[in-house]
Amino acid sequence: MKHIKTLITGTGIAGLLLTTALVIADDDKYEKGEHEGSFLSRIFSKKPDVAPVKNTLYKEECGSCHFAYQPGLLPARSWKKMMGDLENHFEENAELDKETQNKLTNYLVDNAADHANYKRSIRIMNSLGKNDAPLRITETPYFIRKHDEIPKRMVKDNPKLGSFSKCAACHMNAEKGSYDDDEVRIPGVGKWDDD
């Protein structure tokens, strides 16, 4: 029994020393700006549900009119279809010069749900038929299933929302790519609990 206590204590001390050394080394990199976040924040933070938008051009062009939806929320075929008809973009003319349109299309297609390794992107793709190319995230079977228990009065009839398309209004960390159920706050309603 004494040997087990010694082993556990020795392992605990070794782990603590290793963690301390990694934190110090990592903090040196952090001070130099060589990576995002500290060692501890990376250990205790979870991977986002979809890849967050980091493309400045996309944020500026598309995010200036509406939430900059992550490319991982639709398949590449949807983004191609959408970007190919910007003069009829949900009853608005969102035409861009050819170079900008090509850059944005490439970004969206390269980071689309069918090219992503994030849980929500994978689930969205699994919910779609082989040739399905929805133009609205709210039309994907996965989205519909995840939101089917939310009463219409809380969203569509809610003057602070009016639509399920306003992701960031309810999902507090949507911009970071997190759509966790525990982070939902419906404007005028409060925390959403589907239990």
Query: In the chain, what are the domain boundaries?
Result: 2-44, 56-191
For 16-71, write each residue's pLDDT tens digit: 554 444 444 444 433 333 344 444 444 455 789 999 999 999 999 999 999 999 99
- The conformation of residue 136, written as its DSSP 8-state character, comes to S
pLDDT, greater one: 186 or 14: 186
Rounded mean pLDDT of 93-106? 96
Mean pLDDT of the chain: 83
Q: How far apart are CA 171 and CA 52, in angstroms?
A: 14
DSSP-derived 3-state class of residue 76: helix
Q: What pLDDT, on a 0 to 100 scale, did the predictor assign at position 38?
A: 45
Task: Work out the angle at residue 36's Cα, subtended by the Cα atoms of residues 32 and 42, and round it to the nearest 5 degrees.
Answer: 120
> Which amino acid, one-letter code, is at 47?
K
CB 101 within 8 A of CB 84: no
- Torsion sign (Cα): 172, 40, 111, 73: negative
Please provide residue 117's backbone torsions phi and psi, each rounded to the nearest 5 degrees: -120, 50
> Which amino acid, one-letter code, is at 35?
H
Task: Work out the angle at residue 148's Cα, subtended by the Cα atoms of residues 140 and 76, and round it to the nearest 5 degrees.
Answer: 10
Rounded to two decimals, the pTM is 0.75
Q: How far apart are CA 179 and CA 46, in angstroms?
A: 12
Q: What pLDDT, on a 0 to 100 scale, did the predictor assign at position 46?
A: 73
